[in-house]
Structure 1
Amino acid sequence: MESTKPFDTLFLDRDGVINVHRPGDYVKSVSEFVFAEGALQALAVLSRLFRRLIVVTNQRGVGRGLMNRQALDEIHSYMLQQIENHHGKIDKIYCCTETDESHPDRKPNPGMIHQALRDFPEIDPANAWLAGDSLTDMQLAARAGIKGVLIGSRYTAEEIKPTPVYLSCKDLFTFAKKLQTP
């Protein structure tokens, strides 16, 4: 059944894609975690279209001591349970808590993607996508050789121009519907 899915792997940024981004702040507890509008429905659709869904997220708030790893794990546990309750799935979460921009796992560096490729050697990068809400996410997609989907509308066309973007959608639900429609 898995082989009948049209797409291989979808990498997803978390903040601003799955949940509401908190400008100038971090989601530090489950009570601050709010799913983006349509995200749960989108993840159910995307779970039917992709062999696997993998979250790749920078979580600098842990590295800065604004929250601890246990709080981050609780947030992710809650997120995964809600996604499953709505008929979606996330196969794995990779997060970089480092504050050093040059760390190989910190986006836009491709360390988290490389780790996923080691953990799931069957991933076909030519049939993989990354949905993120920042130009950093699009730079990561380009460095990893996968299609970048820019979620949201926080950038002007001029700001986006120098960055490779395969597709741009107002939200994750719109992206899911585009893939679902022949």
Structure 2
Amino acid sequence: MGWFLSDVNGYFQATHTGGLLGIVSQVTLIPEMNLGIIVLTNQQSGAAFRAITNSIKDGYFGINGKNRVKDYNDARLKAEKRADSITSEVEKAISGNEGNKALEPKPKNYTGTYKDAWFGKVEIEKQKDGKLSFESKKSSDLTGKMQFYKGTIYVVRWNDASLKADAFVNFTLDIEGRANGFTIKPISPLTDFSYDFQDLDFKRVE
């Protein structure tokens, strides 16, 4: 387990966050004050554990006049509004490209087996309706249908919508126009970083 180390008002602080679907938590330790704070929540947002943790710390540091609940809730609402705007623009682009054969690449140039050294193999396949699909051989939850976005970029919609982690799949091509690899980037800036999409680099193996 890794710890985030920082200085808070001249005191050494160690924190660690964690979560599963529908649950996020935070542990905060300030050894010099004999202070330990553990917050467990049944939600996806980290705003609650930050507000609770910092409200408790304010009491120990003698900080008055801060409304941490309001501050973090306002920040959460602002972030959600920005994320909704981004996803809405992506939806508009996809809808505008729907059925435009002149723009959409040929599926046969993208189908195949790709592999990331850590994540394992992924199958990009053509479905009966002519659309592409994404199937992880190692993480069954990361399976879904793909929609053309622009250029060499598709959007993958995970079959389990509760993941809230739909993503861009950005293919690279060889000189013949055939995909030889791809990277993944979440559409929403609120997607949980623990999916580690930013660390994946798939290369064609079949």
Q: Name the TM tier (shorter chain).
A: under 0.3
Higher relative CO (Cα under 8 Å, sequence separation at least 6) belongs to 1
Q: Which has the higher helix share?
A: 1
Specify the structure having the higher radius of gyration (Cα).
Answer: 2
Instruction: Judging by fraction of residues, say which structure has more strand.
Output: 2
